[in-house]
Structure 1
Amino acid sequence: MTITLGTAAADPGAIDTGRLAVGETRDGSPARLPVAVINGADDGKRLYLQAVSDGNELNGLGVIREVVPQLDPAEIAGEIMIVGIVNYHGFQVAEHRNPIDDRKLNRTFPGDSEGTASERIADAVFEVAKTADLILDLHQGSTSRMINEVRVRCGRRHTMHSECLRLAKVFNCGYVLDQKGPEGQLARVAPDEGIPTVDPELGGSVGFDPESVQAGVEGVYNVLRHYEFLDGGPSMERQTRAKRFDQYGASVGGLVEYRADLGERIDAGDTLFAVTDTFGQVKAEATADNSGILWRSRRLPQVASGEYVCSVGTNVDSY
């Protein structure tokens, strides 16, 4: 059976690329998202894969750019539906939010066909996503520094939680944040439709980070093998899971000097960072309230009083 996504259409054993219309730009020209469909030669599950719902998070796009040319539809059982760039308007100007409506697009799912620009985009891609058996929504930690991790956002009491947690383990990044997400996230909304969905957060960088992109490529292939789109067994290891974040800000203004590295184990009372003045004199230090893992930190050293500095993943276990 031929499968379609926007202008892309592929018969069994074929691949095609095209565009999905999501409205018009300010000059009246069409806003169209780049899409691809890969229709396997044999029957199987359907995977929906998307990236760049936050317009400056490019590592997911780097993953898609690497994975798609390597896939041979003749070797695939099932179907893969891909939206390469979701936040069309934010991507054009390298901004996190959609500048047309000043919305964070990954807070607008399931969307609204008559709503704001972001809601219309979310509606168009969710119509595709909810036909899938599995969903991967590729992100990164914006332009902050962050470990490679996968987020399970449905909440631990959700009926789909175990399936989402399984998908996160299969992606095999090493770290999992298992914490209910904000309303409007795809990874929170899609499980309500009975679809296991996770949000891989592939590091944090300005532009592409090759190490994080490679981790994402390996994660996608792990998913394809585990769920039998491709032959071969996945490579899976125990994952380190955090169930919440502690966030830390600067008590004073100045320059941040970290006392721990990303991914480092932290004990309660350990010094996370100091803030110095222009001449290197320490003005204040921040210590950890709880044990955990240094998960994320700001990239630039300068901070004002009360400005975000870093996050520690807490309530840590493994599975």
Structure 2
Amino acid sequence: MVTIGTASARPGEVDTGRLAVGETRDGSAFGLPVAVVNGEKPGKTLYIQAASDGDELNGVGVVQRVVPRLDPAELSGTVLVVGIVNYHGFQVAEHRNPIDGVKTNRTYPGHESGSSSERISAATYEVAKRADLVLDLHQGSTSRMLNEVRVRCGRRHRLHDACLELAKVFGCGYILDMKGPSGQLARVAPDDGIPTVDPELGGCVGWDETSIRLGVRGVFNVLRYYDFLGADADLEPQTKAAGFEYYTSPAGGLISFAVELGDRVRRGDTLFEVTTPFGEPKATVTAASGGVFWRSRRLPQAATGEYVCSVGTGISRY
């Protein structure tokens, strides 16, 4: 029997339920939606979670489509899922947890008697620690962004190669191999010996069908490659970046981009122009070095010094 909260499944069974983590402001108990898919045959354990940032919904779309497709009769091992981590942020479509104003994916491994986010992180990390592999599904919030997988443990970490392999297997086409901030699940779990990555499934308001389908494909690639399912994974070479250059607006106005997501840029290439509402030119921003146009703001208006876009640097094929 494998259990998460109220969800329990014997070999060959699937069950869903709730993982209790506290009470809302009116004193009502609440829990995170969880699923257990327990294969008929023994094997590894995969942990998947989504929406630790409450407005990043593409991962929820992936979970919604993956779990019904998992047949425990064909599965070796177990898949554990927390479908919505940032419960409070999800309810109001906000990035941070509105109860404590904290970004939940900065609070791992959490604390069972800490803030709201720390309690959620502690409860979900107890589940994650039972796994052999972890997928923490994200997206670029409301930015426009490439579909990518982030390796966050750092290139000197003892599990770096295993995390990088997991990122390639997931196969979004792009990998960011850059040490992440403290408190990220993909930083913390490798310290406990668990290869972990966070797929960043594009960026949008709401959810995006293309990114969701790519995420579903990625999960099944992982299940096939690591012998949960008896089929071959569809592996392809990935474009890997070692870091970012961030660009802000030198003037207030409307942004017009000269490149598209995924374009290769060279040093000196125009990235964007700033104009008045009447189309009068105010500034032109060029690339400081070569790379891949990786991420950009969605809305065209920007104030002086406001973030506009990012270029992935240190590009290689993996």
Compute the displacement of 1:82 (Å): 0.1
Deviation at 1:114, TM superposition (A): 0.8
Gap runs ≥5 in structure 1: none
Deviation of 1:31 (Å): 2.0
Counterpart Cα distance in 2 of 1:140 and 1:156: 22
Identity %: 65
User: Which residue does 2:205 correspond to in 1?
Assistant: 206
The C-alpha deviation readout for 1:69-128, integer Å capped at 9, x for no partner, is 111110000000000000000000000000000000000000001110000000000001
Match of 2:110 in 1: 111
- Pairs within 5 Å for 1:167-316: 167-316=166-315
| Cα distance in 2 for residues equivalent to 1:40 and 1:207 | 33
Shift of 1:281: 1.1
What is the aligned partner in structure 1 of residue 132 from structure 2? Answer: 133
Whole-angstrom distance in 1 between the partners of 2:56 and 2:115: 21
User: Whole-Å Cα distance in 2 between the matches of residues 163 and 234 of structure 1?
Assistant: 16
Give per-residue Cα distances to partners, 1:39-69, cap 9 Å, x unaligned: 0000000000000000000000000011111
Letter in 2 for 1:216: G
CA–CA distance in structure 2, aligned partners of residues 66 and 289 of structure 1: 41
When the two structures are superposed, what TM-score results if normalisation uses the length of structure 2?
1.00
Residue type of the alignment partner of 1:131: R
Unpaired segments of 5 or more residues in structure 2?
none
* 2:19 pairs with 1:20: yes
Matches within 5 A, 1:69-84: 69-84=68-83
SS of 2:73's equivalent in the other structure is: helix
**What is the CA–CA distance in structure 2 between the aligned matches of 1:6 and 1:274, rounded to whole Å?**
52
State how far apart, in whole Å, the 2-side matches of 1:278 and 1:169 are.
Answer: 43
Aligned pairs for 1:36-51 (under 5 A) are 36-51=35-50
Equivalents in 2 of 1:60, 1:73: separation in Å? 22
Q: Which amino acid aligns with 2:313?
A: T
Counterpart-to-counterpart distance in 2, 1:51 and 1:282: 42
Partner Cα distance (1:111, 1:159) in 2: 23
- How far residue 210 of structure 1 moved from its aligned partner, in angstroms, is 0.2
What is the distance in 2 between the residues matched to 1:28 and 1:21? 13
SS of the counterpart of 2:210?
A: helix
- Partner of 2:90 in structure 1? 91
Q: Within 2, Cα distance between the matches of 1:204 and 1:51?
A: 14
What is the aligned length?
A: 318
Task: Give me the whole-angstrom Cα distance separating, in 2, the residues matched to 1:207 and 1:43.
Answer: 37
CA distance in 1, matches of 2:9, 2:47: 15
Deviant stretches of 4+, over 4 Å: none
SS at match of 1:228: coil
Secondary structure of the 1:73 match is coil
- Compute the displacement of 1:208 (Å): 1.2
SS in 1 for 2:14: strand
